């Protein structure tokens, strides 16, 4: 897959993941240095937000906007993943009040490689492309957007629609009243 960085084409390394396929498990670091695994089957739907660098205006604005937008989704676990250094990310989270998502560091670029988001060259080499993935509770990728130009924002409206669908409780089986009336 390819994106552009300020108009210059750049190849992304790793496996390109498709909507409708099982989300791979990826190992990332929490701000306290412990490991966490994201993706795959989970008790709640997941929103994975790949952020090139919180030190840039577009990334910082996007993180704050998502932090506000996802507050209305109690059955959602949100991860913002970056390659910035943990100290900066920790300070950023406190200063900006990021409290609806867990900020994670892709130290080993495991997430970047498993999701096909590793920038291969240029001044952003070894950073993440800007992207979002919605993963349903069964661990299937329900929505994906890899932003074609790194300085552009994601389509928040489409992402929120996908989140609504992925977090909706699907009523299955029978109700107690139906069972009793048989």
CA-nearest of 153, 151, 112 to 11 is: 112
Alpha carbons 59 and 56: distance in angstroms, whole number: 5
| CA separation for the pair 105, 117 (Å, rounded) | 14
Q: Which of 23, 59, 105, 159 is catalytic?
A: 59
Q: Which of 119, 145, 7, 139 is nearest to 66 (CA)?
A: 145
**Euclidean distance between CA atoms 15 and 25, whole angstroms:** 13
Catalytic residue check, 59: yes
**Would you name the residues annotated as active-site residues?**
59
């Amino acid at each position: 897959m390819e994106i552009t960085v300020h108009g210059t084409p750049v190849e992304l390394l790793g496996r390109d993941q498709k909507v409708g396929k099982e989300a791979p498990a990826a190992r990332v670091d929490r701000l306290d240095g412990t490991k966490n695994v994201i993706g795959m089957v989970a008790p709640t739907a997941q929103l994975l937000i790949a952020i090139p660098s919180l030190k840039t205006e577009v990334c910082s604005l996007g993180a704050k906007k998502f932090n506000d937008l996802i507050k209305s989704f109690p059955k959602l676990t949100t991860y913002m993943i970056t390659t910035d250094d943990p100290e900066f990310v920790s300070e950023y989270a406190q200063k900006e009040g990021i409290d609806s998502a867990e900020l994670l560091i892709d130290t080993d670029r495991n997430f970047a490689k498993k999701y096909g988001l590793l920038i291969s060259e240029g001044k952003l080499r070894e950073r993440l492309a800007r992207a979002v993935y919605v993963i349903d509770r069964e661990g299937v990728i329900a929505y994906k957007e890899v932003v074609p130009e790194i300085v552009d924002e994601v389509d928040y409206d489409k992402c929120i629609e996908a989140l609504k669908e992925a977090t909706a409780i699907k009523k299955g089986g029978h109700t107690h009243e139906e069972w009793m009336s048989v």
